[in-house]
Amino acid sequence: MTRGARVVRLLAAGVLGVLIGLPQAQAALAPWSALAGKTVLFVTGGIRAPQPNDDARVARYLRKLGLRVRTVDARVSPSAAHGAALIVISSTANARVLGNKFAAAPIPIFTWNTFDYPNLGMTGATLHRDFDVIDPVQHYADSFAVLYGFGANITSEISRAVGLRPRLFGTLYLEPQTAGWGDPGPGGTVVTDFFGSRHYAGVFTYEREATLADGRTAPARRVGFYLGSDNFHLLTAVYGPAAQDPNLRRWAIGLKLFDAALRWALSPPPPEPIYDPRALDAALLKAARGKRLLYVERVNGGEGRHSDAHIVAHLRRLGFTVTVADQTAPQRIARGMDLIIISGTCSKWKLANKYIDVPVPLISLEGLLSDSLHFSGRKRYVDYGEHGELLESEDPPENYLDIVGAWSPMAAGLKPGLVKFTDHPGVLKWAWPLPDATVIATLPNEPREDAIFGYPKGARMAGGFIAPARRALLPLDNPSYDQMTAQGKALFDAVVLWALGR
Amino acid sequence: MHATSVRPLGVLAAGILLLTIGLPAAAGTGFPYRLMRRIALPATGVVHALLFDPQTRVIYVAQGHRIEGYSPAGKPLALHRRLGGTVSALARTQSGQIVAAVRAPAQLVFLSPRTLAVEHQRSLDSGRPAALLYDRTARMLFLESRSNGSIVRLDPLSGRPLGRVRILGALGQMAGNGRGTLYVTNTARNALEVIDARTMRRAGSIPLSRCHAPSGLAMDRVGRRLFVGCANGRALIVDADLGFTFVRLPLPGGPRLHAAFAFHPFGAHGWKGGAFFAGAKAVAGIQMQAFIRYRNHGQLPLPARCSALALAAPVGELWLALASAATGRPVIWVLGAGRSEAQ
């Protein structure tokens, strides 16, 4: 074996490990025992902090968890974070004084300073639209509503750690409370939300390398949490005999969420994917070997016919045993398959709800299937749609994507920002998936129009549908495969490789 | 719990002196209720229990071996009974009977409320009785023995034991929720023990964070709040449904706190609800402003340790039995919102 081949094999093994071994490329949360002794820089309002506040309680709690806490006030120099494993920012710190001093810190940040979200790039800058703080003085009625959070995401590491379900839960103890929300960008992950909308995220995160709401890239993990200045001690929990009731246990999870989010912020992020098409190809060759793939197309389907043939040829070269089926074939042909790819040549109408519930990973190359496949809501051109389709779209043709989930292996190691997907502008489909999906790429200048995303197995999809296996959208219109750039093909391969994972 | 709790008692000797001169000012730090009357008991011996009758026309005072009945004004009612040992606790059952727990020899004595005549009695084999609790809603009678860490559920008519639970640690005051759950403070484990009163099995334990040696316990059964007094100077308010402590307030601490709760403890136009803790140095009030809002409402220094406490909400009075180290003769302080007799 040549040295080059060995390197490729090693890289391939690494890529495989990331893609298959670690679901969603999210490393497991580190146990507290592994985090003990780490230093936390706790940024508060210091002597200027509004009273009463829970900063002392939080500091005590962090110490109880085994962390070393260095409390500073908002005027601190950014260099104070040097050596810290985590920056925790209380809402008692004045966001105007904080400014953006920690925005570029390559250290995880856990914050409940809602007004500081824009400084950190975690939300847009407009109060009431991009973020807000509900309090019993200004918003008395809503201060009751924020006692109820919703499990928007059930598959994130934080969600799994607390057993979050797509139901309401008690955020804070039963009295009108102050709580903050933010509306993260597509690179963020909404874990919980308020008021029945993911726009009002109570707990949300950004993975390292994820694109922030302001277009910058997260230099380390970021967590926004709904706490107010004086209600840490009211984060819900249940003790005694009540803790034996599973419903109460799942209801009073405020403190558990805090712990899990804190632990997630402190845990090592997954390794940064590297753009290396050779290694990716090698990894896919290894993963595809012996796998059975069902390729569903409109057989002899006009303009996409050659493209379909070339996709199938590529898949066969990778080692898949490919069965090509017409869109009208019965769903039972999916039995025993390891992966299903639905071509953009398929007619949504003729496909007739097939393959929705098959417990086999599925990639749709057709974005207009997003409603029927439960990828998104059902309102065409609102929940899903397309750019560049003559007479069917008001948006011009497009051939670039904006990578917002560079941290994910589905991004093939491509850096955040614009990437040329196909050689020439053409039709690109999009959908707006639910918070359980990991969004890899959006259409340029359209942060709500997501072109590449994936739902892990068990994810909550539109209409409450639970993903029976991995699901992904990769927008390849009928003839587009032959026009894909090298980066576009890498994205294709990365999504296929991800879909094969667990 | 209905039967405001209790502790031993001794002889309340004849003269009860209503001091109308020289009453201390209602000079607590923010405590809104004043000392209305001070009743000096002529006999020596610790008062272990105070118990009002339902109409608050009689208060039963247990001091040493004796139980005596007095009017709310503090006048003796020619109602007394001497029992075979120190009376450690009193309770009143649904039938109106007075139940007295005698420490040694351990026995339960059922008395007529009108005459204090002994109607029947029953020997106990569950250690030295320390406290009684009658849950009027659940119609359950509980007897606590701190010497062997046990709580026995008794038939409220016969005193026959119906179930027993032993708990490791050191037990403090009990409270019941009226729906078959009994709570008791565990001073040694800084926790509230929860007991299924129907089966008399321990259902679990509620941790009391940063509360050391909890002893006093009272319950608001409507709001489902437990008020816990801790020796290290904290009062905790616990949501009984969740076991969740949602309020911590400063409190004059100390061991062996006595607690009581009532709605409108000092009349319809006063507090919505109030919990009171009395211990070695002071009595303190926690005002309930709403089911979700409480505040510490100051404290009133006490000249001696409080050995028993009874709250008579219908007449708006809080009675405290204070042990006097100087004379050995206890004093009863009657606090209320009315005018001090000194004024």
Contacts B243 to A, Cβ<8 Å: 238-243
Q: Where are the domains of chain A?
A: 27-266, 277-499
Cross-strand partners of A294: A323, A340
Calculate mean pLDDT across residues A306-315: 96
CATH classification for the domain delimited by A277-499, as one of 3.40.50.880, 3.40.50.720, 3.50.50.60, 3.90.1300.10: 3.40.50.880
Integer Rg of chain B from CA: 18
**Per-residue pLDDT at A27:** 53
In a domain, B159, yes or no: yes
State mean pLDDT over B107-134.
95
Q: Which residues of A323-333 are buried (b: 16+ CB within 10 A; e: fewer)?
A: bbbebeeebeb
CB-CB contact of A400 with A444 (8 Å) = yes
Asked if residue A3 has pLDDT above 70, the reply is: no
Neighbours of A14 (CB within 10 A): 16
Q: Provide, as residue numbers in chain A, all residues whose Cβ is less than 8 Å from the Cβ of B192.
A: 240
Nearest residue of A to residue B193, measured between CA atoms: A240
Cis peptide before B105 (omega within 30 of 0): yes
Q: Do B203 and A241 touch (CB under 8 A)?
A: yes
Whether a cis peptide bond, with omega within 30° of 0, leads into A52 is yes
Q: Where are the alpha helices (DSSP H) in A166-253?
A: 246-251
Contact criterion met (CB < 8 Å) for B244 and A252: yes
**pLDDT tier at B341 (50, 70, 90 boundaries)?**
low
CA pair distance A218, A201, nearest whole angstrom:
18
Question: A62: part of which helix (H) or strand (E)?
Answer: helix A55-64
Q: Do A239 and B242 touch (CB under 8 A)?
A: yes
Confidence of residue B328 (pLDDT cuts 50, 70, 90): confident
- Domains A27-266 and A277-499 belong to one CATH topology: yes
Q: In the numeric block, which tokens belong to residue A99?
A: 């400014």
**Which chain B residues are closer than 8 Å to A63 by Cβ?**
none
pLDDT of residue B340: 61
How far apart (Å, rounded) are the C-alpha atoms in residues A472 and A459? 12
Residue A22: pLDDT over 50: no
Interface-testing mutation among B184, B244, B248, with chain A (most A C-beta atoms within 10 A): B244
Contact B292 A252 (CB under 8 A): no
pLDDT of residue B14: 32
Residue labelled with tokens 């059964």 = B221
The set of residues, in sequence order, having a beta carbon less than 8 Å from that of A300 and lying 6+ positions away, is: none
Burial zone of A20 (CB within 10 Å; 0-12 exposed, 13-18 middle, 19+ buried):
middle
pLDDT per position as a tens digit, B151-172: 999 999 999 999 999 999 999 9
pLDDT digits (tens, 9 = 90+) for B65-94: 999 999 988 899 999 999 999 999 999 999
| pLDDT tier at A23, thresholds 50, 70, 90 | very low
In chain B, % of residues over pLDDT 90: 74
A123, two tokens: 């939300």
Q: State the smallest CA–CA distance between residue B182 and chain A in angstroms.
A: 12
Question: What residues contact residue A42 under an 8 Å CB cut-off, 6+ apart?
Answer: A55, A58, A59, A62, A69, A70, A71, A72, A88, A90
Q: By CA distance, what is A241's nearest residue in B?
A: B204
Q: Which residues on B lie below 8 Å from A237 (Cβ)? A: 242, 244
| Mean pLDDT (whole number) for A405-421 | 98
Q: Parallel, antiparallel, or unpaired: how do β-strands A339-342 and A292-297 relate? A: parallel
A39, pLDDT greater than 80: yes
Query: Looking at the partner chain, which of B181, B242, B292 has a beta carbon nearest the beta carbon of A238?
Result: B242
pLDDT exceeds cutoff 80 at A371 = yes
- Judging contacts by C-beta atoms under 8 Å, the chain B residues touching residue A240 are 192, 194, 203-206, 243
Could you read off the pLDDT of B223-235 as tens digits, one per residue?
999 999 999 999 9
Q: Are A353 and A392 within 8 A, CB to CB?
A: no
Q: Backbone phi, then psi, for B21, in 5-degree steps?
A: -125, 140
Chain B residues within an 8 Å CB radius of A174: 239, 246, 292
- Amino acid letter, B23: L
A244 contacts on B by Cβ (under 8 Å)? 204
The residues of B whose Cβ lies within 8 A of any Cβ of A are 181, 192, 194, 203-207, 239, 241-244, 246, 248, 292-293
Nearest chain A residue to B246, by CA: A234
Pairing of strands A39-44, A86-89: parallel
Say how far apart CA B195 and CA B185 lie, in whole Å.
11
Q: Does residue B321 have a pLDDT over 60?
A: yes
Edge to edge, the sheet with strand B98-102 lists B87-92, B98-102, B107-111, B118-123
Interatomic CA distance for residues B216 and B186, integer angstroms: 10
B325 pLDDT above the threshold of 90:
no
Task: Give the rounded distance of the alpha carbon of A321 from its chain centre.
Answer: 31
Contacts of A472 (CB under 8 A, 6+ apart): A361, A362, A363, A364, A410, A452, A453, A454, A455, A495, A498, A499
- Which pLDDT belongs to residue A18? 46
- Among A249, A238, A240, smallest CA distance to B196 is for A240
In angstroms, the CA B100 to CA B84 distance is: 11
Measured in angstroms, the CA of A227 and the nearest CA of chain B are apart by 15
Q: Which residues of chain A have a CB within 8 Å of the CB of B241?
A: 242, 248
Q: From the list A174, A233, A239, which residue is nearest B207 (CB)? A: A239
CA B43 to CA B82: how far, in whole Å? 14
Flag if B246 and A238 touch (Cβ within 8 Å): no
Rounded average pLDDT over A171-198 = 96
Tokens of A303: 């303009």
**Nearest-by-Cβ selection for B292 from A174, A236, A244:** A174
Picking from A365, A369, A307, A362, the residue whose alpha carbon sits closest to that of residue A334 is A362
Interface of A with B (CB under 8 A): 173-175, 233-234, 236-244, 248, 252
pLDDT at res. B219 = 98
Residue A11 has pLDDT above 70, yes or no: no
B204–A243: do the CB atoms touch at under 8 Å? Answer: yes
Rounded to an integer, what is the distance from CA A106 to the centroid of its chain?
Answer: 20
Residues of B in contact with A175 (CB under 8 A): 246, 292-293
Comparing CB atoms, the residue among A238, A241, A244 nearest residue B244 is A238
Partners of A242 on chain B (C-beta within 8 Å) are 204, 241-243
Q: Structurally, how many domains does chain B consist of?
A: 1
Share of chain A above pLDDT 90, in %: 90
Nearest-neighbour CA in chain A from B158: distance (Å): 31
CATH assignment of A27-266, among 3.40.50.620, 2.160.10.10, 3.40.640.10, 3.40.50.880:
3.40.50.880
Distance, in Å, from the CA atom of B240 to the CA atom of A211, rounded to the nearest integer, reads 45
Mean pLDDT of A115-137: 97
Model confidence pLDDT, tens digit, residues A77-123: 999 999 999 999 999 999 999 999 999 999 999 999 999 999 999 99
Least confident of A92-101, A215-224, A229-238, B283-292: B283-292
Residue B4 lies in a domain: no
* Pick from A10-14, A334-338, B166-170: least confident: A10-14
Q: For the segment B202-226, what is each residue's pLDDT rounded down to a tens digit?
A: 999 999 999 999 999 999 999 999 9
Q: Do B204 and A241 lie within an 8 Å CB cutoff?
A: yes
Q: State the residue range of the domain holding B160.
A: 17-336
What's the pLDDT score for residue A15?
Answer: 47
Question: Are B243 and A239 within 8 A, CB to CB?
Answer: yes
Q: Do B204 and A248 touch (CB under 8 A)?
A: no
Place of tokens 């420490």: B103
Is B315 within a domain? Answer: yes
- The residue written with tokens 């509620």 in the block is B206
Nearest Cα of chain A lies from the Cα of B171 at a distance, in angstroms, of 17
Q: How far apart are CA A449 and CA A429, in angstroms?
A: 8
Query: How many beta carbons lie within 10 A of that of residue A97, not counting itself?
Result: 16
A483 versus A302: the higher-pLDDT residue is: A483
Q: How far is B218 from chain A (nearest CA, A)?
A: 18
Q: In the numeric block, which tokens belong to residue A287?
A: 């993963």
Q: Over 80: is that where the pLDDT of B182 sits?
A: yes
Determine, for residues B242 and A241 on separate chains, whether the beta-carbon distance falls below 8 Å: no
pLDDT at A301 (0 to 100): 77
Please state at what angle helix A277-288 crosses helix A3-16, rounded to 10 degrees.
Answer: 70
- List b or e across B136-171, with b for residues whose CB sees 16 or more CB atoms inside 10 angstroms: bebebbbbbbbeebbbbbbebeebebbbebebebeb
Nearest-angstrom CA–CA distance, A242 and A260: 21
* Domain harbouring B214, CATH code: 2.130.10.10
Q: Determine, for residues B194 and A241 on separate chains, whether the beta-carbon distance falls below 8 Å.
A: yes
Question: Measured between beta carbons, which residues in chain B are less than 8 angstroms from residue A238?
Answer: 242-244
Residue B27: predicted pLDDT: 47
Interface size, chain A vs chain B, as Cβ–Cβ contacts under 8 Å: 48
B163-172 LR contacts (CB < 8 Å, sep 24+)? B163/B199, B163/B200, B164/B126, B164/B200, B165/B195, B165/B200, B165/B201, B165/B202, B167/B193, B167/B202, B169/B193, B170/B146, B171/B130, B171/B144, B171/B146, B172/B214, B172/B215, B172/B216, B172/B217, B172/B256, B172/B257
Question: For residue B44, which of B334, B325, B340 has the smallest C-alpha distance?
Answer: B325
User: For the CA atoms of chain A, what is the radius of gyration?
Assistant: 23
What is the per-residue DSSP string for A370-432? TTTTTSB-S-BTTTEEEES-TTT-SSPPB-EEEE-BTTSGGGTTPPSEEEE-BSS-B-EEEE-
- Which residue does chain B place closest to A249, by CA atoms? B242
Cβ separation of A238 and B243 shorter than 8 Å? yes
Do the Cβ atoms of B220 and B227 come closer than 8 Å? yes
| Alpha-carbon dihedral A234, A240, A242, A246, rounded to 10 degrees | 100
pLDDT in the model for residue A268: 96
How distant is the Cα of B189 from the closest Cα of chain A, in angstroms? 14
Which segments of A76-194 does DSSP mark as H helices, in order? Answer: 95-98, 117-120, 140-145, 157-162
* pLDDT of B26 above 90: no
**What is the pLDDT confidence band of residue B279, given thresholds at 50, 70 and 90?**
very high
